[in-house]
Structure 1
Amino acid sequence: MNYKNLLVEVENKVAVVTISNGPGNQLNTEVYLELTQLMSELEVNDEVQAIVITGAGEEAFVAGADIYEMADLDTVGMMDLTQITRISFSKIENIRKPVIAAINGETRGGGFELALCCDMRIASENAQFAFTEINLGVIPGGGGTQRIQKVVGQGIAKELLYFGEKIDAERAYQLQIVNRVVAQNELLATAKEWAGKLVEKAPVALRMMKLAVNTGANVDLESALTIEATCYDGAFATRDCKEGMAARLENRKPNFVGR
């Protein structure tokens, strides 16, 4: 797994993906395509059961999209880039394995959208968040207007989107945008610790859990309950379910195998 803009390390079934694209780790067509390809590879890699995404350095997680690239695009070119972005973010959001964002600094625009695609978000104390698109005369085009309101509600979402102002890590925690705020030097270790705990869980059950939550969030309650029941039945039919129940009855740690 060799990429120009991504660094990948796999240890103890946890893949740490570091976006490294110059100052700000900005997103562009090449980065989006690499993220899509990498997620496809990690999804079928049995040596990976959880993923952490972070940014290189301490200044930025991802400080937005590459304005220099966008400024040269015509309407059709931007339509193509928007589709590439959407595919990349949807792949991260819906990959069958849990994804944790380790947010280590400036998180603007597309970087904020990327963080929202992850299952959980841990921020360093110096992290800052903003949808700055309004200040460029555009709106978020990578799902930001939709995903943020599912997290904070419509009123707060409009505040963040309309004003385009920064909020700090503590405010993001209060709004439930991030799950936890830690010191900068504890960020990656904390994210790895969380990922390590997930690795110990039953892989198929986690997959079914994620499918039920993600898919159920976009349909009516009765349809969501049907999705949940289907996912429950799928998880119940696995060897891991039998192992988990046997381990509980025998008062021992389960040995899940992902089957």
Structure 2
Amino acid sequence: MSNFVNVVVEDGIAIVILMRSEAANALSIQMLHEMNEALEKIQYDSSVRVVIVTGDGEKAFCAGADLKERKEMSEDQVRQTVALIGRTVSHFELLPQPVIAAINGVAFGGGLELALACDIRIASSNARVGLTETALGIIPGAGGTQRLPRLIGVGKAKELIYTARQLTANEALEYGIVEKVVPSSNLTAEAKALGAEMAKNAPLSLVQAKTAINKGLQTDITTGLQIESLAYSRLLYTEDRLEGLRAFQEKRSPVYRGK
């Protein structure tokens, strides 16, 4: 039985809940291992079409690395833990399914880096976010220096990283860090509704669309268009594509099976 990560699957949506609310859902080593175990199962579960990650409670999505645990580590252990955090954050990005971060409270340091690795971010109105590492004598080490500039632009990202500024949910919306801000009481429902809107579509299409977008953004437009073409071609002979055509002709909702 997992102690720090809970996964609930409902109607094709896997909800990953970080369960260390007493420690602001900080990323302990045990929690990181449990997260990777959960994601490994989700990755290969064809019944899961969309993933939502959120924190237990209303105060914290994830406060980043567990600094109390880190105080007791040797330099080598710190390096290993930082690498583990980076791999775990990237694991969210590398999931084939679309991933929604439902930011239910503070998301600082590695917590915001985790959210940045997701496809879409929805924040509760009481959330606060920031890459605060420079105030602690370090820098973002789990992708923050790379993902934030790609999301909001280089100048704005440098401003936030250099200042270690903490933003309110509405400020994060203005910067383009989150796509939507909702009342705390509506966060889970909003995330599930968005997930359901995605999950009704062809699951293989979601996978290939995510692949085309993420891979294409890392290269020039010509190569990106080639990546898109390859992703499109993988869907040509799928049963779901034929089902989509039949459903359109028959004026009914398609029933996709991920085949």
Match of 1:15 in 2: 14
Question: Partner residue of 1:152?
Answer: 152
Which residue does the alignment assign to 1:137?
137
Match for 1:100: what amino acid?
I
Give the counterpart letter for 2:115 in structure 1: A
CA offset digits 1:71-112 (Å, max 9, x no partner)? 233332222112211221111101011111111111100100
Equivalent residue number for residue 6 of structure 1 = 5
What CA RMSD, in Å, does the superposition of the two structures yield over aligned residues? 1.2
Give the whole-Å Cα distance in 1 for the aligned partners of 2:64 and 2:89: 14
Instruction: Name the counterpart of 2:220.
Output: 220
| 1:173 matched residue in structure 2 | 173
Shift in Å, 1:6: 0.8
Q: Determine the structure 2 residue equivalent to 1:162.
A: 162
Distance (whole Å) between structure 1 residues aligned to residue 121 and residue 158 of structure 2: 21
Aligned-residue sequence identity (percent) comes to 37
* Cα deviation digits, residues 152-209 of structure 1 (max 9, x gap): 1010001110101111111111122111111100000110111111111100010001
Query: CA–CA distance in 2 between the matches of 1:243 and 1:176?
Result: 37
Counterpart residue number, 1:192 = 192
- Per the TM alignment, residue 16 of structure 1 is displaced from its structure 2 partner at its CA by 1.2
TM-score by length of 2: 0.96
Could you list the structure 1 runs, at least 4 aligned residues long, displaced by more than 4 angstroms after superposition. Answer: none
Structure 1 residue 241 displacement after superposition: 1.0
SS at match of 1:61: strand
For residues 177 and 42 of structure 2, what CA distance do their matches in structure 1 show?
25
Q: Contact conserved, 2:46 with 2:258, CA < 8 A, in 1?
A: no
Structure-1 residue corresponding to 2:128: 128
Contact kept? 1:94, 1:214, Cα under 8 Å = no
3-state SS of paired residue (1:129) = strand
Superposition deviation, residue 246 in structure 1: 2.0
1:186-241: CA deviation from partner (whole Å, max 9, x where unpaired):
00011011111111110001000111111111122222211111000002221111
Q: Secondary structure in 2 aligned to 1:235? A: coil
Q: Where in structure 2 are the equivalents of 1:45-194 lying within 5 Å?
A: 45-194=45-194
| Separation in structure 2 between the aligned mates of residue 47 and residue 250 of structure 1, nearest angstrom | 26
Query: C-alpha separation between the residues in 2 aligned to 1:33 and 1:221?
Result: 37
CA deviation after TM superposition for structure 1 residue 32, in Å: 1.5
Distance 1:79 1:219 in 2: 30
Higher mean C-alpha deviation, range 140-149 or range 234-243: 234-243
- How big is the shift at 1:18? 0.9
- Aligned equivalents of 1:46, 1:258: Cα separation in 2: 7
Q: Which amino acid in the other structure matches residue 198 of structure 1?
A: M
Larger CA deviation: 190-199 vs 217-226: 217-226
Distance 2:235 2:163 in 1: 44
Q: Name the residue aligned to 1:44.
A: 44
